[in-house]
Amino acid sequence: MGLLENKTAIVTGAAQGIGAKIAEKFAEHGASVAVVDINRERAEACAKVLAEKSIQSEAYVVDVSNTEAVKDLVAQVVKRFGRVDVLVNNAGITRDGLLLKMSENDWDLVISVNLRSVFNFTKAIAHTMMKQRSGSIINISSVVGLFGNAGQMNYAASKAGVIGATKSAAKEFASRNIRVNAIAPGYIQTAMTDKLDEKSRNALLEHIPAKTLGQPEDVANAALFLASELSSYVTGEVLRVDGGMAM
């Protein structure tokens, strides 16, 4: 029996990268998964892969920064699956650039997708989890939200905001047996890091005590821990998955 048997999870930004690996990991442990993404084709492909493993899975397409659209989507998921036990707020984007060259649009877009989405989904699912008197909310932040990074003021601010939102929600919901935690990944091997040349990659590794990039599986394993009863007494925590980078 899996760690998430008979549970239902919503995973945003689930059509690729870290989000897809989290959805896959949850499914492997028995969860039904609502695959949420803005890209319909990728979301449906991900849901199909999970469904082929005899797991209930369905794709949902939404702009995570749209409050009313998110509210409607969560209502659809609850109607479809009957309950929601786990929410993973993973959707995120980057629009990097030095502050003096950063446009207001690039600032607003990153804050809306990375931070407003956490507000939208957490608020939308809160009543369901409160009625259940159980739930686990996992917000994907970043080590950049802990120590900042040149050329990423918008991204760093959004991910630092995710940590603040996590701790505040954890205090509000703890008495209802709803846990709220964050994961702060370091540099994870994805399509973005695969584009780095050898010089840039080696320079990056110099800042990581473990001397290697993380894998999406590493983040998915952390999410599984926080989603399951293995972490039943853990809330308001920020779990770094970074090879020691932010020590």
SS3 for 53-119 is CCCCEEEEECCCCCHHHHHHHHHHHHHHHCCCCEEEECCCCCCCCCHHHCCHHHHHHHHHHHHHHHH
> Under 8 Å CB-to-CB from 15, ≥6 apart: which residues?
35, 37, 39, 42, 43, 45, 46
Contact between residue 124 and residue 166 where contact means Cβ atoms under 8 Å apart: no
Q: Decide: pTM greater than 0.85.
A: yes
Contact between residue 133 and residue 173 where contact means Cβ atoms under 8 Å apart: no
Average pLDDT of the residues in 171-177:
98
List 60, 155, 187, 233, catalytic entry: 155
Average pLDDT of the residues in 55-81:
97
pLDDT band at 225; cut points 50, 70, 90: very high
Q: What is the pLDDT of residues 180-203, one digit of tens each?
A: 999 999 999 987 677 778 887 888
> Under 8 Å CB-to-CB from 155, ≥6 apart: which residues?
94, 95, 96, 110, 114, 142, 144, 149
Mean pLDDT of the chain: 95
Q: What is the pLDDT of residues 15-37, one digit of tens each?
A: 999 999 999 999 999 999 999 99
Compute the C-alpha angle 231/234/240, nearest 5°. Answer: 90
32-37, strands of its sheet edge to edge? 57-61, 32-37, 8-12, 86-89, 135-140, 178-185, 238-241
Residue 88 backbone dihedrals phi, psi, to 5 degrees = -115, 110
Q: What is the pLDDT of residues 38-61, one digit of tens each?
A: 999 999 999 999 998 878 999 999
**Integer Cα distance of 69 and 195 in angstroms:** 34
Average pLDDT of the residues in 109-113:
98
**Integer Cα distance of 122 and 17 in angstroms:** 22
pLDDT score of 1: 67
**Integer Cα distance of 72 and 83 in angstroms:** 15
- Containing 195, the helix (H) or strand (E) segment is none
Residue 235 backbone dihedrals phi, psi, to 5 degrees = -150, 150
233 classed as catalytic: no
Domains of the chain by start residue, with CATH: 8-240 (3.40.50.720)
Contact between residue 132 and residue 157 where contact means Cβ atoms under 8 Å apart: no
Compute the C-alpha angle 59/64/66, nearest 5°. Answer: 120
Average pLDDT of the residues in 69-73:
98
- CB crowding 128-143: b at 16 or more within 10 Å, else e: bbeeeebbbbbbbbbb
> Under 8 Å CB-to-CB from 128, ≥6 apart: which residues?
74, 78, 83, 84, 135
